[in-house]
Amino acid sequence: MSSLLASAVRKWVLLVPEASRDGGEFFCVKQEELSYGKKIKDALFPCDCESREVLTLLCQDCGRRSFAADRIVGGLNARQGSRPWQVSLCHGPV
């Protein structure tokens, strides 16, 4: 599968093969379907974009770590014999 360019303005989304950059089908976003944890593809449906005004977004690092650092920001090396730790506070059933 070729990489895709996603173009969007307000509630419009356009998926275009990166190599062609010549347009394609537009999709509307069902805003009531957008919520945390849902995939955007589940909120799309085919529609027309009469204004043809689009904002282009390009995901170049899909699946890659956004930071090269392998520690918490500001983290330090642990001394030999020390016990480095992290804490996660949770509320409710575990």
Q: Report, as ranges of residue numbers, the positions in the chain whose pLDDT lies below 70.
A: 1-25, 50-73, 94
> What pTM value is reported for the model?
0.30
Write down the pLDDT at residue 1: 33
Conformational region of residue 37, where left means phi above 0, alpha means psi within -120 to 50, and beta covers everything else: left
The two tokens of residue 88 are 């996660």
Residue 7 token pair: 């173009």
pLDDT of residue 20: 35
CA distances from 18 to 3, 40, 83 (A): 6, 19, 49
